Copies of this chain bind each other. A is one copy, B any other.
Amino acid sequence: MNIENIDVSSYPNSEKIYVDGTLPGVRVAMRKIHQYPTVKIENGKRVEYPNEDITVYDTSGVYTDPDVNVDINKGLPRMREFWIENRNDTEILPDITSLYGRERRDNQDLDPIRFPVAHRPRKAKEGHRVTQMHYARKGIVTPEMEYVAIRENLDNRERGIDTYITPEFVRDEIAAGRAIIAANINHPEAEPMIIGSKFSCKLNTNIGNSALSSGIEEEVAKAVWSCYWGGDTLMDLSTGDNIHETREWIIRNCPVPMGTVPIYQALEKVNGDVGRLTWEIYRDTLIEQCEQGVDYFTIHAGVLKEHASLVSERLTGCVSRGGSIMTQWCVLHDQESFLYTHFDEICEILNKYDVAVSLGDGMRPGSIHDANDRAQFLELEVLGRLTEIAWEHDVQVLIEGPGHVPMQKIAANMDKQRIVCHEAPFYTLGPLTTDIAPAYDHITSAIGAAIISSLGTSMICYVTPKEHLSLPDLNDVRDGVIAYKIAAHAADLCKGFPGAQVRDDALSKARYEFRWKDQFNLSLDPEKAKKYYLDSRRNAPDADDRFCTMCGPNFCAMRISQNIADECKQ
């Protein structure tokens, strides 16, 4: 097991910094980008004006901390463990609860692919709920809440940027269900982050193997890669072999919250035979994953038997895997979905580990034709009712949405979700704004994602160029993440998120002053920006020229502008 093929050692001219909070152990990782000075010639003399450091949100974990020697075979530091222990409402279990989990542990054939360090699962003590929502409702500001408040602010306050984001504000948003901190007590390696419409827009990446491709090593590499480029959360959607072991490797090395769709693994346990799925198998899978440390579960509990017939009215049926599985289960058994009928029990499991529920949109439209149809919106209403139930159990909730939705139908999704789901954070795939561009669906969907997040969606799930065609590789993950960083940031600017424009202004100033290196370093993908520039300058590789090959020296508008400014002064 190694990730030698990925260089995530550092960002150019950047420094990993930690900002201390007031609560013990709160030490928030950020990245500070240093800039070169602005050089001017004044009265024949060279004068340097320093440019301020720019601090940016950092999802890369200790992988980019030169002081930490990460060993994938040991896992990341367990930073949250101290806070969790301190609350004194959990206990280390004497054994794994899940039957399947024990079976995997005891199977010696799996030793070669097993994560070397055994994780000892933790659970709430009898009679306790250990969710961030539970604490928030009691008025407690947890270290996690202080952590995200500092993280969202970056250095706004130092810059004198006025902002509403305090630890108490975070607490109140979580208590109201308008934001969540997905933070399983069994995933102490993750750095807390918040998902809610009043915070910066987050992005999720999907990784995971299928029966046809990709092994554990590759999936761990994708996870690290995703965090490096800016993925805020990560879903392991594996459906192939060794899901349990793959997940363990990822969680132990994952600095961001990780989600799964437990029905996938449950279905693998019955060899893909939907008819043989049972509540008992599903329940054991939930517990197995809760104890490994999954931070949020996509649960398609809104797919009801009565909606099954709507699928056949659609152009593209049901394109959610979980949704199609549950619909088929309902039809085969002529029974209501066990996810729906057992939803209370599910919540009582989740609040023992603080796993958030991401209510899946099984009726997500798979084509422009099917957008905003009855199947989709009836399910959304069910999700609203399930939200109320989850909140009764102090379980944190996300609501999943969109898919393929043309631009004029996007706002209705956000409006309806906000109303029927009582402002629980919306988490949408794209939406893709047209069906006609396979191989470019990171773009069809970045358009929709920017729009829907500007309207209040809290987290957007990336789509890679390979969507509809095949599993993404590392390059696709990078392309997908950057496209979604763009959408999320465009939305933050649009919403006037405090401090969002600082980075744009710094980069534009660097651009205007021909500080090429700063322009690269401040960008979302310094490596590619620099490469594009230098490739065209192979014969004159001085990155300090006051023009680029796009216009050449005579036609650089920015250079002429500076002359104008000088001439106006004279």
Contact = CB atoms under 8 A, between A and B. Distances in A.
Contacts of A317: 512, 557-558, 561-562, 564-565
A504 B549 contact: no
A318 B561 contact: yes
A328 to B, nearest CB: 5
A550 interface: yes
B505 A368 contact: yes
Interface string A445-464: 01100110010000000000
Interface residues of A, number: 115
Contacts of A435: 504-505, 507-508, 511
A327 B267 CA distance: 68
A260 B295 CA distance: 56
A135 B215 CA distance: 67
Given A450-B407, A505-B315, A324 B561 contact: yes
A354 B385 CA distance: 63
Interface in A406-451: 406-408, 433-440, 442-444, 446-447, 450-451
A335 B366 CA distance: 60
A528 B274 CA distance: 35
Most buried by B among A308, A331, A439, A567: A439
A10 interface: no
Interface stretch (A80-88, A152-160, A489-497): A489-497
A517 to B, nearest CB: 12
Contact of A239 (B211, B509, B551): B551
A66 to B, nearest CB: 24
A447 B450 contact: yes
Given A447-B486, A558-B319, A493 B210 contact: no
Contacts of A308: 564, 568
A483 interface: yes
A535 to B, nearest CB: 7
A203 B264 CA distance: 43
B536 A471 contact: yes
Contacts of A533: 469-470
A126 B71 CA distance: 83
A240 to B, nearest CB: 7
B331 A567 contact: yes
Contacts of A332: 567
A480 to B, nearest CB: 11
A262 interface: no
Given A213-B536, A407-B454, A437 B568 contact: no
Interface of A: 210-213, 239-240, 264, 267-268, 272, 274, 308-309, 311-312, 315-321, 323-325, 327-328, 331-332, 366-369, 404, 406-408, 433-440, 442-444, 446-447, 450-451, 454, 465-471, 482-483, 485-487, 489-491, 493-496, 501, 503-505, 507-509, 511-512, 519-520, 522-525, 528-529, 531-533, 535-537, 548-558, 560-565, 567-569
Given A272-B554, A315-B508, 10 more contacts: A319-B557, A319-B558, A367-B508, A368-B493, A406-B493, A407-B491, A435-B505, A440-B482, A444-B490, A470-B537
